[in-house]
Homo-oligomer: A and B are copies of this chain.
Amino acid sequence: MFTPISEIGEFGLIDRISVILGEVANEDVLEGIGDDASVIRIDDDRAEVVTTDGLIEGVHFDLSFMPPEHLGAKSLTVNISDVVAMNAQPRYATLLLGLPGHVSVEMVESLYRGAKKVCDAYGVTIVGGDTTGAHQLTIGVTLIGYAHPDRVVYRRGAQPGDLLCVTGDLGSAFAGLRVLLRQRMELAEEGEGFSPNLESYRYVINRNLTPTARLGFVRQLETAGVLPHAMIDISDGLASEINHLARRSGCGASVHEAKLPIHPQTRTVARELEESPTHFALNGGEDYELLFAIAPEDAEKLDPGHVTMIGEFVEGEDVMLIREDGTSERLAATGWDHFG
């Protein structure tokens, strides 16, 4: 039998894998497959958080867009973000590199320099790895972090009445990608005479090329004495991530379009492309902001300069978008499916 993976998609495949792995018999496994990271109890005071992610040339990135140093940086950042989304401190990383003939020693060095810079910034040590031949540049990162078992925050745990909050702004990484794509097209059309206007789009381009993980915000949460009920980082897009939180928590959610934090440059790019800034914010992805649920009484403890309340969790299972005109609609989890 040959069922193409595209027929059941990534989530269908994960369901099939979960059936084979069965119930985890090990009670030290606090969370297996299904969250941003796995959680293992080491002892009463310490849990270990582990996440692994692959980036493959031609699927996740294009070397003609992304200098190797940025690629090394980004591949660490996205995994650090997964650990941060568990409310844990990232500590150690391993780096698996599959290297095709078109990748030089100098490119590997640049990639490692980018990875090292990010690790230094977040207090992560690269402890090991593997380098091997490959047909496409292949990067596999495993990130290990630690937290007190009682401070780990999962995707499950949001309750009806909780506020839905997000750090930073949404859709800017996607706006940056669109600017880069457009400029490449213009370059191809106009040839050498083309001079790219990068200055007006610096913020969104940086958001795409050098994303940041919100480790600082996790520390703010601790200082403020706030423990979110549920949390996830926004890699696939807000719409997709809200649906994850709601489904895993067994409740519904409402999101208010008017409250979505969107950067002026993101709005400009969307307008220039005659597309909707709301679409960028909901489905753009790769923002690596944190999306989380808190009890309403905790709202005033958080710095409104860093957090926006964009909605609330409700009874039921529907995830709804309340439009600026007052109408509402189901918010589908679109996101990215690399098998699509």
Stretch at the interface among A102-110, A157-165, A241-249, A261-269: A102-110
CB within 8 Å for A144 and B108 given contacts A29-B127, A127-B38: no
A60 at the B interface (CB under 8 A): yes
Q: How long is the Cα–Cα vector from A92 to B21 in the complex, in angstroms?
A: 13
Q: How long is the Cα–Cα vector from A338 to B99 in the complex, in angstroms?
A: 10
| Contact mask for chain A residues 106-136; partner B; CB cutoff 8 A; 1 contact, 0 none | 1011001100100000000111111111111
| Copies of this chain present | 2
Q: How long is the Cα–Cα vector from A113 to B19 in the complex, in angstroms?
A: 10
Query: When the two chains form their complex, are residues A130 and B17 in contact, meaning their CB atoms are under 8 A apart?
Result: no
Of B24, B59, B132, which contacts A59 at CB under 8 A?
A: B132
- Could you say which residues of chain B place their CB within 8 Å of the CB of A51? 94, 128
- Could you say which residues of chain B place their CB within 8 Å of the CB of A8? 105
A173 at the B interface (CB under 8 A): no
Q: How long is the Cα–Cα vector from A116 to B104 in the complex, in angstroms?
A: 37
Query: When the two chains form their complex, are residues B32 and A127 in contact, meaning their CB atoms are under 8 A apart?
Result: yes
CB distance from A80 to the nearest CB of B (A): 15
Query: When the two chains form their complex, are residues A4 and B101 in contact, meaning their CB atoms are under 8 A apart?
Result: yes
**Interface magnitude class on chain A:** 35 or more
Query: When the two chains form their complex, are residues A54 and B98 in contact, meaning their CB atoms are under 8 A apart?
Result: yes
CB within 8 Å for A106 and B52 given contacts A40-B127, A338-B133: no
A172 at the B interface (CB under 8 A): no
- Could you say which residues of chain B place their CB within 8 Å of the CB of A134? 54, 56, 59, 136, 138
- Nearest 3 A-B pairs (CB), nearest first? A38-B127, A38-B128, A133-B338
Besides the contacts A54-B97, A54-B140, what 14 more A-B pairs have beta carbons closer than 8 Å? Answer: A2-B106, A5-B101, A17-B131, A21-B112, A32-B126, A33-B129, A40-B144, A52-B94, A52-B130, A53-B130, A59-B134, A133-B339, A134-B136, A135-B136
Q: A-side interface residues toward B, CB under 8 Å?
A: 1-8, 10, 12-14, 16-17, 20-22, 24-26, 29, 32-33, 37-38, 40, 42, 46, 48, 50-54, 56, 58-60, 92, 94-99, 101, 103-106, 108-109, 112-113, 116, 125-136, 138, 140, 142, 144, 338-339
